[in-house]
A and B are shown apart, each in its own frame.
Chain A
């Protein structure tokens, strides 16, 4: 039995190493002097210094951050309202809405984008910045709803009931009881929406108007020319920020994984 256990744990370790390898490799090579990311390794910060001079990348980064910020605000407002509605709505309504959001996240982005482009044409938007923002909100908002509605469902209704019994009105109950209990979930939802929107390459590729390059789209146009050290350096910074956000998410929600999986076992 023990040998069996050990083998399985070794396999888990191996899988984790393989998962980490490309990311670690990119981080390591960002500190390497070679222009083409080849060995031997000589430590250097040249690529980070050169990064500021790469206007195409920096512009794309700015575009991406602005887009993600806008989309996060919209997603949090719409998603939080929707979550409060969903937990009170009839099962038919809430079920349909969650099926719709599940579909948004499971249908391949290229197919969803094709449909969105057609709808944008119907509304006279075409490939526009508005379209890009709408498409990003649709694909980011479900994450806010996922986190916030789960929190609302787990909330013990007795807190609010106690507050009402003790004479507080609905507004006061919301402000002093419900809001503080839900706030961490909203923060977590916002972080997740930001990361998901920032990194959503396929949706951005198809819905962004000509001349607007978000960072993933810009990298896509550069990757065919081979590895460039600027991208490796910027990629390293972004991966580190992503890890930081996931760690914050983990601390705020108590378990980042619970956002993505629902288990019957409480850790």
Chain B
């Protein structure tokens, strides 16, 4: 599951450093003490967070400890894997766009139209699926959608066959991934909504702006930064999905993550699995880059025409 820090500690989501108010200098103990406190955690992070990323590159470009592009050309020249790659990138795009479209209005309502106490309760409710094990969520989803399950019983009232189900179809996997992405979307877009000042909206309305104008020229430019963050977090996570398509997707719903999983588990050709993972990661970053470029451009337009 996923994933979430909307920003590194100390950094506000909008990119400015925390605390615009000048701070009093705090008491600093000796530099030696600071280094001693930093050392153990830093060593762990360097060895097991930074080094694995280096290891991916080293392994991906090697075969029998010689430098080679062979692993990548195998990925790029096998039609099956290319189809899986394209399908994964498209599915992740659909999942990301739909989950953000579902989450944004909900987050806006949560930030503006709900009182402080119920708001806290709702945020707790949103966090529960976020921290619950992915496997249990999938399990709950299966109990809900399986044939003769509660959902199909209800749908049979409107004429659908209760014994049928969307289990083992790509749609089931896509719905599950959307479900898992919604909490991330709500949490990110909630911070976006709180960043839009009420007085700005009031000013726009007082000056005669219609609802469409307020949305496209005021709310949108002020929300684009967080929208990009939400897109990046959701997209990169979804691209690496394998449990949802593996369990729910059926044979035609498999994604590249499933091929990587199978290859990692068989353990026969790890460099190849890693090459697939790197291609996937790189492609997803390119998509994120392009989308953020396009989104940021719309923000710029809103400003220049104002």
Interface of A is mostly: helix
B194 adjacent to A264 (CB under 8 Å): yes
Stretch at the interface among B65-73, B117-125, B290-298: B117-125
Q: Which chain B residues border A36 with CB–CB below 8 Å?
A: 146, 148
Considering only CB atoms, which chain B residue lies closest to A39 in the complex?
A: B153
B4 adjacent to A18 (CB under 8 Å): no
Instruction: List B2-53 residues whose CB lies under 8 Å from chain A.
Output: 3-13, 18-19, 23-29, 34-42, 44-53
Q: Among the listed B188, B260, B274, which residue makes an inter-chain contact with A261, where contact means beta carbons less than 8 Å apart?
A: B188
Q: Is A250's CB within 8 Å of the partner chain B?
A: yes
B179 adjacent to A19 (CB under 8 Å): yes
Q: Which chain A residues border B34 with CB–CB below 8 Å?
A: 85, 88-89
B48 adjacent to A138 (CB under 8 Å): yes
Q: Is A61's CB within 8 Å of the partner chain B?
A: no
Q: Is A50's CB within 8 Å of the partner chain B?
A: no
Q: Is A105's CB within 8 Å of the partner chain B?
A: yes
Contact with B along A85-122 (1 / 0, CB 8 A): 11011000111011111111111111111111111001
Contact with B along A70-93 (1 / 0, CB 8 A): 000000011101101110110001
A26 adjacent to B44 (CB under 8 Å): no
Instruction: List B120-164 residues whose CB lies under 8 Å from chain A.
Output: 120, 122-144, 146, 148-150, 153
Q: Which chain A residues border B128 with CB–CB below 8 Å?
A: 23, 239, 242-243, 246
Q: Among the listed B49, B129, B143, which residue makes an inter-chain contact with A101, where contact means beta carbons less than 8 Å apart?
A: B49
Considering only CB atoms, which chain B residue lies closest to A259 in the complex?
A: B127
Most B C-beta atoms less than 10 A away, residue of A119, A153, A202: A119
Q: Give the CA-CA distance A92 to B19 in the complex, in Å.
A: 18
Contact with B along A218-235 (1 / 0, CB 8 A): 011001100100011001
Q: Give the CA-CA distance A145 to B187 in the complex, in Å.
A: 19
Q: Which chain A residues border B19 with CB–CB below 8 Å?
A: 153
Q: Which chain A residues border B13 with CB–CB below 8 Å?
A: 261-262
B124 adjacent to A198 (CB under 8 Å): no
Instruction: List B184-221 residues whose CB lies under 8 Å from chain A.
Output: 186-188, 190-191, 194-195, 211
B270 adjacent to A119 (CB under 8 Å): no
Q: Is B80's CB within 8 Å of the partner chain A?
A: no
Q: Which chain B residues border A235 with CB–CB below 8 Å?
A: 136, 139-140
Stretch at the interface among A8-16, A51-59, A180-188: A8-16
Q: How far is the CB of B221 from chain A (nearest CB, A)?
A: 17
Interface magnitude class on chain A: 35 or more
A160 adjacent to B131 (CB under 8 Å): no
Q: Provided the pairs A206-B264, A264-B12 are in contact, do residues A216 and B133 lie with their beta carbons within 8 angstroms? A: yes
Q: Which chain A residues border B273 with CB–CB below 8 Å?
A: 114
B149 adjacent to A157 (CB under 8 Å): no
Q: Which chain B residues border A247 with CB–CB below 8 Å?
A: 124
Most B C-beta atoms less than 10 A away, residue of A15, A243, A250: A15
Q: How far is the CB of B268 from chain A (nearest CB, A)?
A: 13
Q: Which chain B residues border A170 with CB–CB below 8 Å?
A: 29
Q: Provided the pairs A9-B114, A110-B257, A118-B56 are in contact, do residues A146 and B42 lie with their beta carbons within 8 angstroms? A: no
A110 adjacent to B191 (CB under 8 Å): no
Q: Is A137's CB within 8 Å of the partner chain B?
A: yes
Q: Which chain B residues border A95 with CB–CB below 8 Å?
A: 8
Q: Which chain B residues border A265 with CB–CB below 8 Å?
A: 111, 194
Q: How far is the CB of A256 from chain B (nearest CB, A)?
A: 6
B139 adjacent to A199 (CB under 8 Å): no
Q: Is A189's CB within 8 Å of the partner chain B?
A: no
Considering only CB atoms, which chain B residue lies closest to A115 in the complex?
A: B52
Q: Is A179's CB within 8 Å of the partner chain B?
A: no
Most B C-beta atoms less than 10 A away, residue of A93, A108, A192, A250: A108
Q: Which chain A residues border B84 with CB–CB below 8 Å?
A: none
A103 adjacent to B194 (CB under 8 Å): no
Q: Among the listed A101, A112, A239, A246, which residue makes an inter-chain contact with B52, where contact means beta carbons less than 8 Å apart?
A: A112
3 nearest A-B residue pairs (beta carbon): A108-B240, A115-B52, A82-B41
Q: List 11 A-B contacts (CB under 8 A).
A: A9-B113, A26-B144, A82-B40, A94-B10, A104-B45, A107-B281, A114-B270, A246-B124, A260-B6, A262-B6, A267-B116
